[in-house]
Amino acid sequence: MATIFSRIIAGEIPCYKVAEDDRHFAFLDINPVQPGHTLVVPKKEIDDIFDLSADEYADLQRFAHKVAHAVKGAIPCRKVAEAVIGLEVPHAHIHLIPINSEADVDFRKKAEVSAERMQEICNEIAAKF
Ligand code: AMP
């Protein structure tokens, strides 16, 4: 069965898409730790990011690098944090989270962002990509 992220990539489940190329996809995390929290995903369905080949992993990071610059350009923040967790969704992904302090990366705390604001943020990041 396809993962939820494969279904998002296929357009079967809606998302706030910010960027795409032939092998990668980026969209806003639906339950963001901070406004602008973005997920970067390989289209190839694989659970553990470190089971990607070294080249696939490098290509994913290259795409994430471009997305991170778009996030930084769209969301005022000191840094864009990058994290890999992968305990919830068995489809490799990188979290990109705009932060001003270490405390801003706490996966136990979620930001409340309206659907309207999510769409605005999505458009702003997409425009910077
Ligand atoms: P983890 O697998 O632990 O790295 O966490 C998976 C992340 O995916 C969480 O931050 C979820 O909020 C996010 N997530 C799960 N389902 C969706 C969805 N349908 N759209 C966007 N983000 C999602």
What confidence score (pLDDT) does residue 1 get?
84
Catalytic-residue membership of 93: yes
Tokens at residue 39, please?
A: 């997920």
Per-residue pLDDT of the chain (129 residues; tens, 9 = 90+): 899 999 999 999 999 999 999 999 999 999 999 999 999 999 999 999 999 999 999 999 999 999 999 999 999 999 999 999 999 999 999 999 999 999 999 999 999 999 999 999 999 999 999
Enter the pTM of the model. Answer: 0.98
Q: For residue 104, what are the contacts with CB-CB under 8 A and spacing of at least 6?
A: 33, 34, 81, 97, 98
Whether 29 lines ligand 1, by a CB cut-off of 6 Å, is yes
Nearest to 35 by CA among 91, 110, 129: 110
pLDDT at 81: 98
Identity at 47, one-letter amino acid code: D
Q: Distance (Å, rounded) from C-alpha 43 to C-alpha 89?
A: 14
Token code pair at residue 92: 């490799």
Catalytic-role residue among 24, 37, 93, 95: 93
